[in-house]
């Protein structure tokens, strides 16, 4: 019995078809059939029923299948362990990013490029999505690591994290907006946004969850006029006077370049937070663990920005503060 025979057997079972299994394995179909017949001769039982339109398991095949999968998993584990000792990483890593993270002050793209240069046999899969869907994918094992927004002060269950951005939510408006009166004003109570068209991140993002919860607690039904996943789009809409953009505080330089003003949101004071997250039991593959270590080392506090960036485990913030990104 050979591992490749077990691999072919599992592929045929999962594809329910010899031709599709051969294409997946990048082999000729007769070769796959011959190897599985050899496996059946060695085990002295038919494992697959070939009589129907789809290939199905026999009773013996169903009993053998878990052992075949376990043997393949054990062999892969042995290879991974040996690779760790030789410094050679291979496999696949899945990373989720909240929209806009790749172009934020921290350069995720450069970290991924450097990791790829150092470990060219590791395939990196990157996706952008809403934070709540990424959190669910992380827990389900569909993502190894995620950079996502937090919707509450309490760390999500079954997830470990490093907080890398912690910024107040602000109202961003064009010059001449009535929220800027009286002159010199630097903050605005949430209640003053009740009758204004708002420009916000979409549902499913941490910032939107915090904003919706703050309005609900205040008994206010907000007017969401525009939604966009990229913060840069929100500010461009605000430039054209389409409404009040609510987002984590941008840099003063970026706002000045657009001619925008920002006001801190109060009553309550809400915050936007982004965290590097992974399952508490850790990523399964050595490649994912190495990439996680690289990201944790790179996403450090940046004192020069004047914003809170922490590589420490999150802890509850001050009272009456809603949190997210």
On the question of pLDDT at 217 being above 90, the answer is no
Q: Is the peptide bond before 268 cis (omega within 30 degrees of 0)?
A: yes
Mean pLDDT score of the chain: 83
Answer yes or no: do 37 and 111 share one domain: no
Domain boundary among 86, 107, 129: 86
Q: Which is more confident, 230 or 99?
A: 230
Domain of 69, CATH number, reads: 1.10.10.10
Residues 225 and 173 in one domain: yes
| Non-local CB neighbours of 63 within 8 Å, separated by 6+ positions | none
Rounded Cα–Cα distance for residues 128 and 137 (Å): 12
Taking residues 290-313, what's their average pLDDT?
60
Lowest pLDDT segment from 78-87, 191-200, 243-252: 78-87
Choose one of 229, 246, 271: the last residue of a domain: 271
Token pair 């709540």 is found at: 132
Do 17 and 60 share a domain, yes or no? yes
pLDDT digits (tens, 9 = 90+) for 88-127: 577 889 999 887 554 455 678 888 999 998 888 889 999 8
Q: Cβ–Cβ contacts within 10 Å for residue 79, how many? A: 13
Q: Which of 65, 86, 107 is where one domain is finished?
A: 86
Mean pLDDT of 234-257: 86
For residues 170 and 186, membership in a common domain is answered with yes
β pairing state of 197-200 and 244-248:
parallel
Q: Say what the pLDDT of residue 211 is.
A: 87
Question: Scanning the structure block, which residue is given the tokens 């996706």?
Answer: 127
* Greatest CA separation for the chain: 89
| Range of the structural domain that residue 202 is part of | 166-271
User: Do 206 and 262 fall within a single domain?
Assistant: yes
pLDDT of residue 110: 86
Cα separation, 242 vs 240, in Å, equals: 6
CATH assignment of the domain containing 221: 3.40.190.10
What tens digit of pLDDT does each residue of 172-203 get? Answer: 999 888 998 888 888 999 999 988 999 998 88
What three-state secondary structure class fits 122? strand
Q: How many domains does the chain have?
A: 3
- The separation between CA 57 and the C-alpha centre of its own chain, rounded to angstroms, equals 37
pLDDT at 84: 63
pLDDT reported for residue 193? 92
The helix or strand, by DSSP H or E, that contains position 151, with its residue range, turns out to be: none
Whether 81 and 148 map to the same domain: the answer is no
pLDDT at 244 over 90: yes
- Does residue 266 sit in the same domain as residue 175? yes
pLDDT band with cut points at 50, 70 and 90 for residue 305: very low
Residue 72 shares a structural domain with residue 100: no
Q: Where are the alpha helices (DSSP H) in 166-285?
A: 206-217, 231-239, 252-258
Whether residue 74 is found in the same domain as residue 109: no
CA-based nearest residue to 274, from 311, 235, 242:
311
Both 191 and 264 in one domain: the answer is yes
Based on its alpha-carbon atoms, the radius of gyration of the chain, rounded to whole angstroms, reads 26
Give the Å distances, CA to CA, from 68 to 41, 91, 103, 179, 300: 16, 20, 44, 67, 44
Q: Which of 93-102, 230-239, 274-283 has the lowest mean pLDDT?
A: 93-102
**191 and 254 belong to one structural domain:** yes
Same domain, yes or no: 75 and 209: no
């Amino acid at each position: 019995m050979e591992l490749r025979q077990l691999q072919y057997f599992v592929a045929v079972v999962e594809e329910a078809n010899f031709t599709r299994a051969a294409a997946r394995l990048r082999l000729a179909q007769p070769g796959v059939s011959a190897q599985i017949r050899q496996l059946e001769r060695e085990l002295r039982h038919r494992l697959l029923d070939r009589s129907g339109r789809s290939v199905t398991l026999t009773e013996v095949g169903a009993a053998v299948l878990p052992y075949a999968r376990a043997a393949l998993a054990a062999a892969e584990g042995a290879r991974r362990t040996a690779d760790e000792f030789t410094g050679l990483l291979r496999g696949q890593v899945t990373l989720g990013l909240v929209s806009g993270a790749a172009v934020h002050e921290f350069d995720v793209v450069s970290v991924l490029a450097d990791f790829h240069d150092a470990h060219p046999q590791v395939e990196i899969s990157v996706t952008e999505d809403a934070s709540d869907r990424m959190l669910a994918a992380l827990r389900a094992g569909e993502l190894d690591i995620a950079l996502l927004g937090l919707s509450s002060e309490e760390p999500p269950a079954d997830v470990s994290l490093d907080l890398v951005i912690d910024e107040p939510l602000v109202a961003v408006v064009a010059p001449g907006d009535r929220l800027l009166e009286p002159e010199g004003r630097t903050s605005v109570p949430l209640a003053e946004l009740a009758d204004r068209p708002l420009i916000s991140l979409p549902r499913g993002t941490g910032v939107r969850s915090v904003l919706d919860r703050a309005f609900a607690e205040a008994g206010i039904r907000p007017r969401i006029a525009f939604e966009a996943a990229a913060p840069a789009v929100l500010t461009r809409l605000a430039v054209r006077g389409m409404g009040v953009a609510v987002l984590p505080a941008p840099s003063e330089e970026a706002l000045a370049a657009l001619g925008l003003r920002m006001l801190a949101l109060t009553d309550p004071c809400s915050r936007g937070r982004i965290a590097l997250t992974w399952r508490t039991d850790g990523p399964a593959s050595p490649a994912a663990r190495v990439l996680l270590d690289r990201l944790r080392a790179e996403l450090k506090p940046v004192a020069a920005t004047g914003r809170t960036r922490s590589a420490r485990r999150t802890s509850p913030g001050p009272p009456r503060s809603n949190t997210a990104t």
